[in-house]
């Protein structure tokens, strides 16, 4: 069978990695509680879809190593986005991640004189360290710091639209806590960034060329052992003269299909992107974790 979209190939490959079993019955089986390792954010760090949490990728505890891989698709009104990546968790303390992103301008590419179906792409290398606390088992919430190096593969184009550069580094700190008795998770992240649309449109611009502090937050309610719903907010910098950049919102549902596979669907409102307003649509992700 031929896969016409790389995302579909990734989904099939991830599903094949999972043990062939039904809905996982135990909350815990030699690893983390279901869903408490989060999913993969758009930039590859574990947490929510739009923002990282102070959790580490994989199902490992403090005694071992973990691994996760994901495929993500976002379809909004005029654009589509795909990403795939992997992350390694070390003793539930350190996370190392890599993600490749593709952002297709579809018909809008021709209107922007880039050409129909012109795609921006980017590679992101991330590292995160949980400094203190624990999401579940400590009175102190989990506290983590992270860094993401981003390298845009369309340097000449992003400079032409007004970006100052084609590479940059984000720094962030996250605080996350699961209130187990109420099945509610809350997370907040502060990010220093100069990225335009995560870096897909370069870094810095005519309005602002330096790092600025942005806030991101998540809230989730675990309906059962294997299902959680929630929402996220991500404040964005507005650096480019040619295009306003809006904050992002989503409402999501995540399902632990098995101990090793999580599927997520969300309604995402990404605002104005590259001069085109009201970019709203669906976020889909399949993640496997061990």
Beta carbons within 10 angstroms of residue 69's beta carbon: 19
Name the residue with tokens 């990546």.
85
Report the alpha-carbon distance of residue 86 to residue 202 in Å, rounded. Answer: 23
Give the chain's mean pLDDT.
Answer: 90
- What the chain holds in terms of domains, given with CATH numbers, is 6-17+29-289 (2.40.160.40)
Quick: pLDDT tens for 74-122.
999 999 999 999 999 999 999 999 999 999 999 888 777 788 889 999 9
CB-count exposure of residue 13 (10 Å: 0-12, 13-18, 19+): middle
The dihedral formed by the CA atoms of 66, 145, 267 and 200, expressed in degrees to the nearest 10: -100
Give Cα separations from 164 to 22, 199, 207 (angstroms): 50, 11, 11
What is the DSSP secondary-structure string of 85-127?
Answer: EEEEEETTTEEEEEEEEEEE-TTHHHHTTS-TT-EEEEEEEEE
Of the ranges 28-42, 130-144, 241-255, which one carries the lowest mean pLDDT score? 28-42
The better pLDDT of the pair 165, 5 is held by 165
pLDDT-based confidence at residue 8 (cuts at 50, 70, 90): very low
Q: Which residue spans within the chain are E strands per DSSP?
A: 39-40, 46-47, 65-76, 80-90, 94-104, 119-132, 142-152, 167-179, 184-193, 212-222, 227-234, 248-256, 261-269, 280-289
pTM: 0.89
- pLDDT bucket at 165, cuts 50 / 70 / 90: very high
The b/e string for 225-236 (b: 16+ C-beta within 10 A; e otherwise) is bbebebbbebbb
């Amino acid at each position: 069978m031929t896969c016409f979209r790389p995302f579909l190939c990734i989904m099939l490959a991830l599903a094949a990695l999972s043990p062939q079993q039904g809905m996982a019955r135990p909350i815990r089986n030699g690893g983390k509680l279901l869903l408490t390792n989060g999913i993969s954010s758009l930039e590859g760090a574990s947490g929510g879809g739009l923002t990282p949490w102070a959790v580490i990728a994989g199902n490992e505890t403090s005694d071992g190593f973990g691994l996760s891989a994901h495929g993500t698709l976002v379809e909004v009104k005029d654009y589509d986005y795909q990403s795939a990546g992997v992350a390694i968790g070390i003793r539930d303390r350190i996370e190392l991640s890599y993600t490749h992103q593709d952002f297709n301008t579809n018909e809008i590419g021709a209107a922007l004189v880039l050409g129909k179906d012109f795609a921006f792409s980017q590679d992101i290398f991330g590292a995160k360290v949980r400094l203190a606390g624990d999401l579940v088992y400590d009175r102190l919430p989990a506290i983590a710091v992270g860094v993401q190096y981003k390298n845009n593969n369309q340097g000449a184009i992003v400079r032409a639209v007004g970006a100052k550069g084609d590479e940059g580094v984000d720094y962030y700190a996250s605080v996350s806590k699961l209130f187990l008795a109420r099945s509610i998770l809350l997370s907040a992240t502060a990010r220093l960034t100069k990225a335009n649309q995560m870096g897909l449109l370069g870094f810095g611009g005519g309005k602002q060329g330096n790092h600025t502090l942005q806030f991101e937050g998540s809230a989730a309610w675990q309906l059962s052992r294997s299902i959680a719903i929630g929402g996220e907010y991500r404040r964005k910098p507005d650096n480019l003269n040619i295009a306003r950049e809006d904050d992002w919102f989503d409402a999501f549902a995540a399902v632990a299909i098995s101990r090793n596979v999580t599927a997520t669907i969300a309604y995402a409102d990404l605002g104005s992107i590259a001069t085109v307003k009201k970019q709203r649509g669906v976020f889909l992700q399949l993640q496997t974790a061990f």
